[in-house]
Structure formats: structure tokens, C-alpha cells
Amino acid sequence: MQRLPPLNAVRTFEVAARLGSFVMAGQELGVSSAAVSQQIRHLEEYFGKKLFSRNGNRLALTDAGLAIYPQTSRALGDIAAMTVRILEGELRTRLIVSVPFSLAEYWLAPRLAQLLEVHPQLSVDVRVEDDPVDMGRHDVDLRISYGDYHYASFEAVPLFHDEVLPLCAPELWYRHGNQDFELTQVHESLFIHTHWGPNYASHPTWSDWFAAEVGAPAPDPAHGRRSGLSSLSISLARLGCGIALGQKTLARADLESGRLIALSSSSLRLGHAYCAFVPAAKSQRADVRRLLALLSEPPAPG
């Protein structure tokens, strides 16, 4: 008979390691932080290893904790997926895809349309949500994320590494200038500034672009337009509301149709690539593999 550690303690460890807090783990599990601490001690005694270390108020995994966390997370995710299938009475054919807000409409939707054109009977559930997503608990089949650091226990499949460049509607550009007009001559109120939120700091800004490409002071965000999504910035630019430092991949269709024009060929890469993550237990499913292959295809030249 296989020797197993105390499973309730293992579950408690996974939640505490994922959240980085005994208090938050207790909230998710519906128990006190003291009960979480007791379960962790129980597991540490079983392994004879210290799994967490404290530095002031910060909780971190030790080397031993880091060694067992990925397999623990995968195993519990597989058990959660199995539970859902059993409770539903049969293997589910619905494909659950989780995607960040900015990629949902401009990038994922056209690719899902391609997949459904070939497989029209496929049932798809698209969930638009921020990182991190508990893939096991919510039975997600495939998660698309900016960067590869949110899901350390899953294999990352790189999809594309986007870049940003100045974009606007042609009508706006020619209304305020001409073919020889330069960005340094544009009033700073016409610039659209994308605010990615408090969790991100690696995305290029207008300050980065002006410093790298023009060598001039950047427009003041306080006097311009501000958007909380990169896809929304592109929409605002297409509607003539200003000039966006837009993602080239997301704006591809608008650029090819002429709804947007690039005001410079100079671009800056984002800090991270977009990646896909698939639980090991679902990696061989035919629908998951078809979608992953489609998402991994390089964009057509344009």
C-alpha cells in the first residue's frame, strides 16, 4: 500500500503556499489561521522538514516547501477536475478557456471563431478574468496569461511577444496635421495613456517611447486621456479619440483595414510574452490540443 501524507494537511499547505498567508488560507478554507498553522506543523512533522519561513510579516516557502509545492498543486488540481467529472456523471465536453480582459475580444475571439468553424458542435465557455486564476478549483482547461510567473506549477507554452507603437485613426491625424506632422507637435491632450493596473510595471509607456525614439519629453498623462485596458486604448484610437501606444498584435486587423495607421515604425516590446497554461490531466484532450495549436500559430505577415 502506498504511503501518503495527511491529505487535509496537504490541502492546507497548498492553499497557504498559493496565497502566501495563513490568514488568507484560513479564509478560503473556512477555518482560523491557528488551525492552518496547526495543519502545517502536522505536515512538517510528517516530512521532518520546515516548509515555511517567516521574515517579519512575510511568509515564504523554504527549499523543502518549494520542492513539494508544484506536485501538490498539480495533484489537487487533478483531483478537483476528477471530482467535477464524477459529480456531473460523465466526461464534460465543454471547453473552458480563461483569458485576460485585453486579449478576449481582439485576439482570442477571432481564433475561437476559426476553431468553431471547423468544429461547430464544440461547446466553449470563455471566462474573462485577471490573474491569478485557480485553475484546479474552477476546472479551467486552458489559461492565457501575460508572463509565465503566475502558474509556476504548470508548463508555460509561449504564444506571442507583443510590441507597442503609436496608433491613431487616419481622420484624426490629418485633421490635426499632415503627412509631415510629427508627434512632438501634437498637443498632449490627444495622447491616450494605458494604465495596466497596480500589479504591472513592465509595460512600455509614452515616457519610454519618447525617450527611446524621439529624445524629447513625453506628454503629461494628467493632460491626456487614460484607459484601463490596452484593448480599450485601441478602440478609443480607432474612434478618433486620440493617439494610443497600442499593441501591434491586438491592432493588426484595424491596421490592415486602414481603420488605424501607425505613426512610426519604431516599437517597444512588452516586458513579457503571453503564454498558455494547461493542466497536465487535460493536455491530451482533443479540443484542448486543437485550440492550443491554433493559438500557437504565428500571425500571418501583414
pLDDT in tens, 5-16: 888 999 999 999
Q: What's the pLDDT tens digit per position in 89-140?
A: 444 568 999 999 999 999 999 999 999 999 888 899 999 999 999 998 888 9
Clarify whether residues 264 and 278 are in a common domain. no
Would you state the pLDDT for residue 85?
A: 65
Residue indicated by cell numbers 471566462:
127
Listed residues 85, 119, 152: the one ending a domain: 85
Q: Residues 180-207: what's their mean pLDDT?
A: 83
Q: What's the pLDDT tens digit per position in 43-74?
A: 999 999 999 998 777 788 999 999 899 989 88
In a domain, 302, yes or no: no
Domain count for the chain:
3
Q: DSSP 3-state assignment of 116? A: helix
Distance CA 211, CA 81 (A): 49
Listed residues 58, 85, 112: the one ending a domain: 85
CATH number (domain holding residue 288): 3.40.190.10
The percent of residues above 70 in pLDDT, for the chain, comes to 91
Model confidence at 301: pLDDT above 60: no
The answer to whether 170 and 261 are in contact (CB under 8 A) is: yes
Clarify whether residues 47 and 33 are in a common domain. yes
The answer to whether 111 and 253 are in contact (CB under 8 A) is: no
Q: Which three cell numbers stand for residue 165?
A: 507603437
Backbone angles phi, psi at 57, to 5 degrees: -95, 0
The secondary structure element, H or E, covering residue 174 is: helix 170-176
In a domain, 143, yes or no: yes
The answer to whether 49 and 64 are in contact (CB under 8 A) is: yes
Clarify whether residues 182 and 261 are in a common domain. yes
294 DSSP 8-state letter: H
CA dihedral 82, 85, 87, 89 (to 10 degrees): -140
Clarify whether residues 35 and 104 are in a common domain. no
Clarify whether residues 125 and 210 are in a common domain. no
Clarify whether residues 235 and 149 are in a common domain. no
Three-state SS annotation for 240-293: CCCEEEEECCCCHHHHHHCCCEECCCCCEECCCCEEEECCHHHCCCHHHHHHHH
Clarify whether residues 260 and 217 are in a common domain. yes
Model confidence at 179: pLDDT above 60: no
**Does the pTM of the predicted model rise above 0.85?**
no
Distance CA 169, CA 246 (A): 12
Confidence grade of residue 192 (pLDDT, cut at 50, 70, 90): very high
Would you state the pLDDT for residue 155?
A: 85
Backbone angles phi, psi at 292, to 5 degrees: -60, -40
Radius of gyration of the chain from its Cα atoms, rounded to whole angstroms:
23
The answer to whether 154 and 278 are in contact (CB under 8 A) is: yes
Q: Which three cell numbers stand for residue 91?
A: 466526461
In a domain, 187, yes or no: yes
Distance CA 209, CA 165 (A): 8
Would you state the pLDDT for residue 181?
A: 62
Mean pLDDT of the chain, nearest integer: 88
In terms of residue numbers, what domain contains 98? 94-160+273-296
Model confidence at 86: pLDDT above 90: no
Confidence grade of residue 262 (pLDDT, cut at 50, 70, 90): very high
Clarify whether residues 173 and 262 are in a common domain. yes
Model confidence at 215: pLDDT above 70: yes
Confidence grade of residue 281 (pLDDT, cut at 50, 70, 90): confident
Clarify whether residues 170 and 241 are in a common domain. yes
Listed residues 43, 68, 85: the one ending a domain: 85
Model confidence at 180: pLDDT above 60: no
Would you state the pLDDT for residue 89?
A: 46
Clarify whether residues 22 and 71 are in a common domain. yes
User: Where do the H-state alpha helices sit in 21-108?
Assistant: 22-29, 33-47, 63-88, 101-103
β-strands 52-55, 58-61 pairing: antiparallel
Q: Residues 230-235: what's their mean pLDDT?
A: 95
Model confidence at 245: pLDDT above 70: yes
Would you state the pLDDT for residue 257?
A: 96
- Our CA angle for 108, 113, 119, nearest 5°, is 125
Distance CA 181, CA 100 (A): 36
